[in-house]
């Protein structure tokens, strides 16, 4: 690469961000803007008998009041579980669900106005424990009428390949273990925020803190009954997502509706507590998992039964249900595999997608059991893993197509760097090392809504000013996708990065991208951007070749120049632009990305399909204080195969950020509830690690150069979280000989286990 | 409501403010200085850190009236972009920010920190920034950036 | 509508207080009380900001004694070389509070008078309304204990146990005059009325520590190394006469002091007294059983260290 690809590249919006100039949604102000006040349910599960809005309507400053029946059309990220309403209709299903809303001249008037709305409720039995949701209940108590068999089970996902239970019976070594995982949440720093503007031409503009402008666009159109061509969604600078801004949200529908009826700009920004209430985080999960291996440590079979606590609505839950099982097909070769996941509806705020979606908790279970089996069989845990790794260019039992695979290099790197062979099992009581591996999809091969369009389209525009503008619907949520777009254009056209500018994440001006979820952007948008830039280059080369009478294939774009090696052409970029645009003006080229056809033909075969998979291996070094049970993670060695690091600075950042987030789930974070009400909806009590709580990190980037990824690249944003948690859990075992089967691993649990062991 | 004279980024101006409102609300909603971010609004994240007579304070906990007679400096007062403070420059170059939402608060904490602690160790910086919540970076690159900035400042 | 006052003398502050009977709140740094205001746990119209009172911001510490103005910030305490040298127990306790930037605003006096906390009380108005208001607010029962007619909210000051262990006294001003009382006497074993010997308008202006201890010990139980309120704080001193003062906080409605000659103490008796005097209930994120166990662990650690 002669350009910026593969070189550590500071973010193109970095200066904007360090100077406070970057504009996030709440930073926008519009003339005559109204503010939204929301009234939320105090009940976990109740019928709405009556709503009296009269006092709110006459409250000074209130411009409009709306209730659930005004927007009766349901929505949701997945068409198959479109079970949410903008505001509760007939029934509330969790404490904090939005029941009514006002738009008012000031934030204070909006809040006070909303408080004037009187709602009469008729509470019914609330389902807090997902176990209760699995039982048949009184139909009047059912959370949603559409669930089957009189139970509150949202989805049962089940696949079985080659009778794993039989193989388990015959396995010389077998472990059947139960695991419990608390729910965790994204806790991005920028609270949800939305501004809706009803324009004079009867179109709607929504500026929102969203990872998925496209799906918001679709759902706004559906709920508001506005044709798609009259809705525009824009994502400005966004303060973190991690999956928590990847659903269309009720407050976005409400804000848009209030703008439509008042014909004024309307803004809604959440408090931190409301962000926690909105949740959509990782599902609280219980897993019963059995894994067997033979005398040589070769895995014979895996069978798992999982219950995930979905909360009151669907969100990504159907996908989560499948991911909890299908993403156990790597990084190890397992030919006999079965799983069942039941997603329970409960009367709590809904869970959805969070970094490492659906695979983080089962990964913990799997890696801990592998560690146990290694000890049972008397094999080093790293060796056991190595024996079982999937090969590259292979297909798993559930027809996941594995292409590039650098997992062996990952394991070797961390094993050497951590001095594993010298230290594992040999350190003094209280100090230990642990290994965890993982893999993850590099973009879901299937779109959420079936269609015949590409996954993404990128336009590259060149005009007389010599500037290249890349138009992409991709949402930079802090992961650096904007920088990647600029890097690719710069690389392909041989111009400095500051010749490239972007128009992004605007459903009016940019071609559709499905969104920043499932780690799809680098792979898919990267490929589309590369194609667009290549086409633009080819178009320029064609014109220059014609004028200079050389072969277009011989023309090189590099170092801000356009030339042939023989010197027949040697012109500046600007002159090249002039030549290319002569007689035609601006050039716009379009690149796109389609996922290849793949997968089996059984029901559920689409889940987990991806054009490529990332791999990783992490080793944690921990100290456990046996008298207090406190765990200190001293250091984590992380090796991640991202195919090719387009921007090593960003890849390292993703891995380090994953370590931090994984550490939080492993040792301190949990969503706590009292009667279904979140009790720790603040940063005092939802305990995210701070600078002083994070370990030393040693990051190794492994490049397996994927044959289909742009320049060989695969994902780096989610895969690196998976190995973090089990590497910590397994290190605790090495330190003090206890198996932590419940997350977060807080000191009380560690101390209890140490005492139990005696 | 009270009419108060505030000195923000070296510019004195008279503003009508709520008697109990915070300087964070005043900056964002009355002065349109939106670089100072509201993240938790209860003192737990450091995103709204501004300087009051050179000392870092949390905008969300500081009553605006208390700022009368003091010099307030916000992220907008540090640099307009041409002459980045070494902390800002290093954050950009080192990848010490991803989503950027906590970044103004990190800058406004690190600058006075380095004034008081011109030669900090990595552990010292971790301690100095232990009130700043970053959910993206895992802190490593932030800490390294501040360390580099210290070295740059020490010439 | 609200009012915000910034008196510069204690006299002026007391006079303002008398102008707003029952409808004002003093602010030190205000770092804790601002959250109470946002959560509508404090609804007073007037805020009397004491952070700029004259003669309340000085530190004097030497090998014999220590005198602290109440509005010295916690940061000034932790960074004072005199305190670090002569009373490191207090420096360490102050450094364990909140975060570095909060400590630049939070005051010594404010931390001594920090409001008691409870998981089911320190919540937003909407949250409290939904869960059913508790005894401390307008309800009839304690929600944590499921019916008891007593409030067990926790005192969470980290500097209070340190200064109690250091045998500190506080100087208090009110309309009735000025008085000096032992620090531990300002705390009451009541989760609702958690202060004693403090008139409504009382202003703590100064903290005095008469002597330097022969040895000291401090530990705070928390999950993270920053920000967290305490789950258990233990501060202990032994003076030259062999009298131990062990003070526990975060595990009861008030700091719990055990004062006894080392000659008469065993670690078992210290633990027994501590466990008996701490009314610890399940009102913290760390489980009750664990916090109780950690009382033993910490007291054992202290015992071994001395």
- Cβ within 8 Å, pair B135-A26: no
Q: Say how far apart CA B37 and CA B28 lie, in whole Å.
A: 8
Give A642's contacts (C-beta < 8 A, 6+ positions apart). Answer: A614, A651, A701, A702, A703, A713, A714, A715, A716, A719
Which of A613, A695, A697, A702 lies closest to A412, judged by CA?
A702
**Contact residues on chain B for C102, CB-CB shorter than 8 A:** 43, 58, 61, 131
CA-wise closest residue to A278 among A290, A287, A286, A269 = A269
CA of A586 to nearest chain C CA: how many angstroms apart?
53
The pLDDT of C174-186, averaged and rounded, is: 96
Give residue C137's pLDDT.
87
Extract the tokens encoding C277: 């005097």
Binding-face residues of B in 63-92 toward A, CB within 8 A: 74-76, 78-81, 84, 88-89, 91-92
- What is the residue-wise DSSP string for A261-318? HHTS-EEEE--HHHHHHH---BPPEEEEEEEEE-TT--EEEEEEEEEEEEETS-TTHH
Buried-exposed string A544-557: b where 16+ CB fall within 10 A, e elsewhere: bbeebebebeebeb
What is the interface pTM, i.e. ipTM, of the complex?
Answer: 0.98
C-alpha closest to that of A307 among A134, A106, A464, A448: A134
Cβ contacts of C23 within 8 Å, gap of 6 or more: C44, C45, C46
A288-298: string of b/e by CB count within 10 Å (b at 16+)?
A: ebbbbbeeebb
Cα distance from B131 to chain C (closest Cα, Å)? 5
Cβ separation of A691 and B45 shorter than 8 Å? no
Nearest to A457 by CA among A538, A533, A519, A532: A532
Backbone angles phi, psi at C113, to 5 degrees: -105, 20
* C-alpha closest to that of A27 among A375, A267, A204, A216: A267
**Percentage of chain A with pLDDT > 70?**
100
**CATH code for position C276:** 3.30.465.10
What was the pLDDT predicted at C132?
A: 86
| Secondary structure (3-state) at A336 | coil
- Does residue C165 sit within a domain? yes
C223 CB neighbours in chain A (<8 A) are: 667-668, 687, 746-747
Query: In this complex, is the C-beta atom of C81 within 8 Å of any C-beta atom belonging to chain B?
Result: no
Top-confidence residue, B82 or A342? A342
Report the pLDDT averaged over residues B116-126.
98
Amino acid B80: pLDDT: 79
Task: State both tokens at B76.
Answer: 């907008």
Interface contact C297, partner A, CB < 8 A = yes
Q: What percent of chain B has pLDDT over 70?
A: 100
Q: Which DSSP letter does residue B26 get?
A: I
> How many angstroms separate the CA of residue B145 from the nearest CA in chain C?
19
Checking if the pLDDT of A754 tops 80, the result is yes
- Chain C neighbours (≥3 Cβ pairs under 8 A) are A, B
Instruction: Answer whether C3 sits within 8 Å of B41, measured CB to CB.
Output: no
- Reduce the DSSP state of residue A364 to 3 states and report it: helix
Inform me whether the C-beta atom of residue B148 falls under 8 Å from chain A C-beta atoms: no
Range of the domain at C218: 59-113+153-305
**Residue in the block written with tokens 């980290």:** C158
User: Helices H, strands E: what count in chain B?
Assistant: 5, 5
Q: How far apart are CA A113 and CA A115, in angstroms?
A: 5
User: What's the confidence (pLDDT) of residue A146?
Assistant: 95
Q: Which residue of chain A is at minimal alpha-carbon distance from C126? A: A42
Cα C274 to Cα C128: distance, rounded to the nearest angstrom: 32
CA-nearest residue to B87 within chain A is A18
Chain A with chain C: Cβ pairs closer than 8 A: 69
Strand positions, DSSP E, A162-203: 173-181, 193-198
The pLDDT of residue C1: 66
End-to-end Cα, chain A, rounded Å: 59
Q: How far apart are CA C58 and CA C61, in angstroms?
A: 10
Q: Is C4 on the interface with B (CB under 8 A)?
A: yes
Nearest CA in chain B to C95: B127
The answer to whether residues C111 and C159 touch, using CB atoms and an 8 Å cutoff, is yes
Rounded to an integer, what distance in angstroms lies between the CA atom of residue C127 and that of residue C133? 9
User: What distance in Å separates the CA atoms of residue B128 and residue B107, rounded to the nearest whole number?
Assistant: 12
Q: Using one digit for the tens of pLDDT, what is the confidence trace for A171-188? A: 999 999 999 999 999 999
Q: Which of B43, B101, B106, B146 to mutate to test the interface with A (most CBs of A within 10 A)?
A: B101
Q: Cβ–Cβ of B98/A688 closer than 8 Å?
A: no
Q: Which chain A residues touch C130 with a CB distance below 8 Å?
A: 41-43, 95-96, 677
CB < 8 Å from B in window 97-136 of C: 98-102, 104-105
Tell me: pLDDT of A114 over 70.
yes
What is the C-alpha end-to-end distance of chain B, expressed in Å? 48
The residue of B36, B43, B50 whose CB has the most chain C CBs within 10 angstroms, and thus the best one to mutate to test that interface, is B43
pTM score of the predicted model: 0.98
pLDDT in tens, A220-249: 999 999 999 999 999 999 999 999 999 999
pLDDT-derived band at C133 (thresholds 50, 70, 90) equals confident
In a mutational test of the B interface, the residue from C25, C39, C99, C124 whose CB has the highest number of chain B CBs within 10 Å is C99
Q: Identify all chain A residues contacting B75, using CB atoms and an 8 Å cutoff.
A: 19-20
Instruction: Give residue A391's pLDDT.
Output: 97
The 10 Å Cβ neighbour count of residue B150 is 22
* Mean pLDDT along residues B116-131: 98
Q: How far apart are CA A159 and CA A525, in angstroms?
A: 31
- Count residue pairs from B and C with Cβ separation < 8 A: 79
**Which domains, from first to last, does chain A contain?**
25-124+189-240+245-278 (3.90.1170.50), 355-442+611-747 (3.30.365.10), 447-593 (3.30.365.10)
Please compute the mean of the pLDDT values over residues A197-211 and round it to a whole number.
98
Domain ranges of chain B: 2-77, 86-153
Q: What is the reported pLDDT for A447?
A: 94
CATH, range B2-77: 3.10.20.30
- Residue A146: CB atoms within 10 A of its CB come to 11
Residues in a beta bridge with C13: none
How many structural domains compose chain C? 1
Residue B81 has pLDDT above 80, yes or no: no
- Check C290 against A40: CB less than 8 A apart: no
pLDDT at A434 over 90: yes
B36 touches chain A (CB under 8 A): yes
- The stretches of A441-508 forming alpha helices (DSSP H) are 481-493
Q: Which residues have a Cβ under 8 Å from the Cβ of B14 and sit 6 or more positions away?
A: B3, B4, B5, B6
Range A463-482 average pLDDT: 98
- Cβ <8 Å between C127 and A677: yes
Would the CB atoms of C37 and B18 count as touching at under 8 Å? no
- What the block records as the tokens of A92 is 């509330």
A27/B99 Cβ within 8 A:
no
CB-neighbour burial class of residue C306 (10 A; exposed 0-12, middle 13-18, buried 19+):
middle
User: Which A residues in the span 26-55 are in contact with B, Cβ-Cβ below 8 Å?
Assistant: 26-27, 29
Handedness of CA C262, C268, C272, C275 (dihedral sign): positive
pLDDT tier at A528, thresholds 50, 70, 90:
very high
User: Pick from B44, C119, C261: which is nearest to A682 by CA?
Assistant: B44
Which string of DSSP letters, residue by residue, matches C220-265? EE-SSSSSPPPSEEEEEEE-TT-EEEEEEESSSSS-EEEEEEGGG-
The answer to the question of residue C129 being in a domain is no
Mean model confidence pLDDT for chain A: 98
A12, A19, A28, best to mutate vs chain B, most B CBs in 10 Å: A19
Count the helices and strands in chain C (H runs, E runs). Answer: 11, 12
Is B74 in contact with A20 (Cβ distance < 8 A)? yes
Strands (E), C62-176: 66-69, 169-174
> Residues of A64-75 as b/e, b for ≥16 C-beta within 10 angstroms?
bbbbbebbeebb
| Identity of the residue in B19, B56, B127 whose CB atom sits nearest the CB atom of C3 | B19
Identify each DSSP E strand in A479-533 by its residue range: 500-504
**Across chain C, where does the E strand assignment appear?**
3-5, 24-27, 46-49, 59-61, 66-69, 169-174, 177-182, 203-209, 215-221, 232-238, 243-249, 256-261
Q: Is A40 on the interface with C (CB under 8 A)?
A: yes
Other beta carbons less than 10 A from residue A151's beta carbon: 19
Q: If we measure between CA atoms, which residue out of B155, B144, B48 comes closest to residue B97?
A: B144
Contact A189 B38 (CB under 8 A): no
The DSSP letter of residue C148 is -
Closest Cβ opposite residue B61 in set C1, C34, C225: C34
Among candidates B47, B23, B51, which has minimal Cα distance to B112? B51
Nearest-angstrom CA–CA distance, A695 and B140:
9
Judged by average pLDDT, the poorest of B69-83, B117-131, C232-246 is B69-83
Q: Please, are residues A593 and A524 in contact by the beta-carbon 8 Å criterion? A: yes
For residue C148, what pLDDT band results from cuts at 50, 70 and 90?
confident
C139 and chain B in contact, CB less than 8 A: no
Which runs of consecutive H residues, i.e. helices, occur in chain B? 23-25, 86-93, 103-116, 122-128, 140-153
Kindly state the percentage of chain A with pLDDT values over 90. 100
* CA-wise closest residue to C32 among B58, B42, B56: B42
- What chain B residue is nearest to C79 in terms of C-alpha separation? B116
The answer to whether the beta carbons of residues A722 and A638 sit under 8 Å apart is no
CB contact under 8 A, B62 and C100: no
pLDDT value of residue A758? 86
**Rounded alpha-carbon distances, angstroms, from residue C171 to A62, B127, C107, C168, C207:** 50, 33, 15, 10, 6
Q: Is A278 on the interface with C (CB under 8 A)?
A: no
Multiple choice CATH, B86-153, 3.50.50.60, 3.40.50.920, 1.10.150.120, 3.20.20.70 = 1.10.150.120
Positive or negative torsion for Cα B103, B108, B109, B112:
positive
Fold match, B2-77 / B86-153: no
Beta bridge partners of C207: C68, C170
State the first-to-last Cα distance of chain C, in angstroms, to the nearest integer: 55
């Amino acid at each position: 690469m002669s350009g910026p690809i593969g070189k550590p590249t500071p973010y193109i919006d970095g200066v904007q961000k360090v100077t406070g100039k970057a504009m996030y949604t709440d930073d926008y102000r519009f003339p005559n803007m109204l503010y939204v006040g929301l009234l939320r349910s105090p009940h976990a599960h109740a019928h709405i008998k009556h709503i009296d809005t009269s006092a709110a309507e006459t409250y000074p400053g209130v411009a409009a009041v709306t209730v659930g029946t005004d927007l009766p059309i349901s929505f949701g990220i997945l068409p198959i579980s479109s079970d949410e309403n903008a505001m509760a209709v007939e029934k509330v299903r969790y404490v904090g669900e939005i029941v009514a809303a006002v738009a008012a001249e000031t934030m204070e008037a909006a809040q006070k106005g909303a408080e004037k709305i009187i709602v009469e409720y008729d509470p019914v039995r609330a389902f807090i424990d997902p176990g209760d949701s699995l039982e048949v209940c009184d139909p009047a108590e059912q959370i949603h009428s559409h669930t089957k068999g009189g139970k509150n089970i949202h989805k049962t996902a089940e696949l079985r390949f080659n009778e794993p239970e039989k193989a388990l019976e015959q396995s010389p070594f077998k472990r059947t273990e139960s695991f419990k995982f608390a729910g965790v949440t994204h806790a991005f720093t920028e609270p949800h925020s939305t501004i809706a503007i009803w324009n004079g031409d009867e179109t709607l503009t929504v500026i929102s803190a969203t990872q998925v402008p496209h799906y918001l666009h679709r759902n706004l159109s559906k709920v508001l009954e506005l044709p798609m061509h009259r809705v525009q969604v824009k994502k400005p600078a966004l303060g973190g997502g991690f999956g928590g801004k990847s659903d269309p949200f009720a407050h976005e529908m409400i804000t848009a509706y209030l703008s439509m009826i008042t014909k004024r700009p309307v803004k809604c920004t959440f408090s931190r507590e409301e962000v926690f209430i909105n949740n959509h985080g990782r599902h609280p999960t219980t897993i019963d998992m059995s894994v067997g291996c033979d005398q040589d440590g070769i895995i014979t079979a895996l069978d798992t039964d999982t219950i995930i606590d979905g909360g009151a609505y669907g969100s990504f839950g159907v996908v989560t249900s499948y991911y909890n099982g299908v993403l156990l097909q790597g990084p190890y070769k397992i030919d006999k595999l079965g799983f069942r996941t039941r997603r329970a509806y409960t009367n709590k705020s809904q869970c959805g997608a969070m970094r490492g979606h659906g695979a983080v908790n089962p990964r913990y279970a799997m890696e801990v059991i592998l560690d146990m089996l290694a000890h049972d069989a008397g094999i080093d845990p790293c060796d056991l893993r190595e024996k079982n790794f999937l090969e590259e260019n292979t297909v798993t039992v559930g027809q996941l197509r594995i292409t590039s695979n650098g997992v062996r290099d990952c394991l070797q790197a961390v094993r050497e760097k951590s001095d594993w062979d010298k230290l594992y099992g040999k350190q003094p009581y209280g100090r230990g090392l642990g290994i965890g591996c993982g893999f993850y999809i590099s973009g879901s091969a299937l779109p959420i809504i079936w269609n015949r369009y590409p996954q993404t389209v990128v336009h590259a525009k060149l005009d007389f000013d010599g500037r290249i503008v890349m138009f992409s619907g991709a949402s930079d949520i802090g992961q650096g996708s904007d920088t990647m777009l600029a890097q690719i254009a710069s690389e392909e056209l041989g111009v400095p990065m500051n010749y490239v500018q972007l128009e992004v994440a605007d459903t009016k001006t940019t071609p559709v991208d499905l969104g920043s979820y499932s780690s799809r952007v680098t792979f898919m948008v990267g490929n589309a951007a590369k194609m667009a830039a290549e086409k633009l280059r080819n178009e320029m080369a064609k014109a220059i070749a014609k004028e200079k009478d050389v072969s277009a294939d011989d023309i090189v774009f590099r170092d801000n120049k356009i030339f042939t090696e023989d010197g027949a052409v040697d012109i500046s970029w600007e002159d090249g632009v002039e030549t290319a645009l002569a007689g035609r003006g601006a050039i716009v080229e379009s690149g796109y990305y389609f996922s290849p056809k793949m997968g089996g033909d059984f029901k559920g075969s689409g889940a987990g399909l991806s054009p490529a998979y990332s791999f990783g291996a992490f080793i944690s070094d921990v100290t456990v204080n046996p008298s207090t049970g406190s765990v200190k993670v001293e250091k984590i060695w992380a090796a991640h195969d991202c195919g090719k690091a387009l921007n090593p600075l960003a890849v390292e950042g993703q891995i380090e950020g994953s370590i931090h987030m994984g550490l939080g789930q492993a040792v301190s974070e949990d969503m706590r509830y009292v009667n279904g009400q979140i009790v720790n909806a603040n940063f005092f009590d939802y305990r995210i690690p701070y600078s002083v709580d994070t370990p030393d990190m040693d990051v190794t980037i492994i490049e397996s150069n994927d044959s289909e990824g742009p320049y060989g690249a695969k994902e780096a944003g989610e895969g690196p979280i998976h190995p973090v948690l089990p590497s910590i859990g397994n290190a605790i075992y090495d330190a003090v000989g206890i198996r932590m089967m419940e997350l977060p691993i807080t000191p009380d649990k560690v101390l209890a286990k140490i005492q139990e062991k005696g | 409501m009270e009419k108060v004279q505030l000195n923000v980024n070296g510019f004195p101006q008279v503003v009508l403010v709520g008697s109990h409102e915070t300087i964070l609300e005043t900056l964002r909603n009355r002065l349109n200085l939106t670089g100072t971010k509201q993240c938790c609004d209860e003192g737990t994240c450091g995103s709204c850190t501004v300087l009051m007579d050179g000392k870092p304070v949390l905008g969300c906990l500081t009553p605006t009236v208390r700022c009368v007679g003091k010099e307030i400096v916000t992220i907008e007062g540090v640099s307009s972009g041409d002459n980045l403070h070494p902390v800002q420059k290093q954050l950009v170059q080192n990848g010490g920010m991803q989503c950027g939402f906590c970044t103004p608060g990190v800058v406004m904490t690190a600058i006075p920190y380095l004034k008081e602690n011109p030669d900090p160790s990595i552990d010292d910086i971790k301690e100095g920034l232990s009130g700043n919540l970053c959910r993206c970076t895992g802190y490593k690159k932030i800490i390294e950036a501040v360390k580099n900035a210290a070295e740059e400042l020490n010439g | 509508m609200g009012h915000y006052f910034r008196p510069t003398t204690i006299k002026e502050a007391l006079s303002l207080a008398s102008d707003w009977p029952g409808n004002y709140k003093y602010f030190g740094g205000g770092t804790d009380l601002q959250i109470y205001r946002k959560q509508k746990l404090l609804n007073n119209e007037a805020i009397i900001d004491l952070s700029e009172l004259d003669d309340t911001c000085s530190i004097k510490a030497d090998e014999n004694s220590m005198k602290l103005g109440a509005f010295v910030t916690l940061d000034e305490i932790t960074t004072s070389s005199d305190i670090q040298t002569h009373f490191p127990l207090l420096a360490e306790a102050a450094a364990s509070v909140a975060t570095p930037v909060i400590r630049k605003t939070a005051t010594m006096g404010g931390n001594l008078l920090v409001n008691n906390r409870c998981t089911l009380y320190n919540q937003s108005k909407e949250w409290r309304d939904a869960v059913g208001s508790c005894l401390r607010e307008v309800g009839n029962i304690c929600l944590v204990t499921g019916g008891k007619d007593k409030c067990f909210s926790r005192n969470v000051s980290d500097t209070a146990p340190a200064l109690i262990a250091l045998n500190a006294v506080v100087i208090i001003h009110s309309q009735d005059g000025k008085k000096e009382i032992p620090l531990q006497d300002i705390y009451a074993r009541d989760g609702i009325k958690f202060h004693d010997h403090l008139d409504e308008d009382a202003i703590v202006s100064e903290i005095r520590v008469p002597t330097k201890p022969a040895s000291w010990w401090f530990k705070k139980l928390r999950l993270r190394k920053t920000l967290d309120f305490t789950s258990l704080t233990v501060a202990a001193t032994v003076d030259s006469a062999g009298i131990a003062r062990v003070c526990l906080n975060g595990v009861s409605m008030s700091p719990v002091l055990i004062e006894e000659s080392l000659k008469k103490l065993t670690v078992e008796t210290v633990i027994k007294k501590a466990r008996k005097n701490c009314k610890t209930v399940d009102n913290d994120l760390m489980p009750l059983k664990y916090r109780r166990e950690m009382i033993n662990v910490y007291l054992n650690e202290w015992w071994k260290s001395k």
